[in-house]
């Protein structure tokens, strides 16, 4: 598949089913409620700038997505930082550069909005994902994510 065959655009509310379908194919579990909540926050509240994107093939079928959030500080003041919290590529379209294209477009979009830093969390014991983000110029941050089991 040529790089021109994949188009990246801002995510729309109507992309919910496609995103849920891709996520289910990748993770082998259905997370409809999780994405319904994320989409509600993205499209029904005006507390953030649009940052999430989808990749479409030549037929307009959504084959990948990246979701993120731009930090808004107190009184809606923009803080120049964002998170990339979810990325997914349909398994039938993996290893074709779509994930990298999504990351590239995501970063370019954020840059045009004035974002200076993007954060993401990756499990240390998922070497494929660590490698993927490393290939996309993410580096370990200077903070440590701590957790406590209750």
Per residue in 69-109, pLDDT tens? 887 766 655 678 899 999 999 999 999 999 999 999 999 99
Q: What pLDDT is stored for residue 80 in this prediction?
A: 83
- What are the pLDDT digits (tens) for 13-42? 999 999 999 999 999 999 999 999 999 988
Q: What pLDDT is stored for residue 2 in this prediction?
A: 56
- CA gap 100, 108 in Å, rounded: 12
- Print burial letters for 17-30: b (CB count within 10 Å at least 16), e (below 16): ebbbbbbeeeeeee
- CA gap 117, 62 in Å, rounded: 27
Instruction: Please give the span between the terminal C-alpha atoms of the chain, in angstroms, as a whole number.
Output: 47
pTM for the whole structure: 0.88
């Amino acid at each position: 598949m040529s790089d021109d065959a994949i188009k990246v655009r801002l995510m729309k509310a109507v992309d919910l089913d496609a995103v849920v379908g891709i996520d289910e194919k990748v993770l082998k579990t259905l997370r409809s409620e999780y994405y319904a909540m994320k989409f509600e926050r993205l499209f029904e509240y005006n507390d953030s700038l649009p940052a999430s994107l989808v990749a479409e093939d030549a037929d307009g079928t959504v084959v990948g997505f990246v979701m993120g959030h731009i930090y808004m500080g107190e009184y809606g003041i923009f803080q120049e930082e964002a998170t990339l919290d979810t990325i997914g590529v349909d398994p039938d379209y993996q290893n074709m550069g779509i994930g990298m294209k999504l990351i590239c477009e995501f970063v370019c979009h954020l840059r045009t909005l004035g974002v200076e830093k993007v954060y993401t969390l990756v499990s240390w014991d998922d070497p494929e994902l660590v490698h993927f983000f490393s290939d996309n110029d993410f580096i370990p941050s200077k903070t440590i994510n701590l957790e406590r089991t209750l």
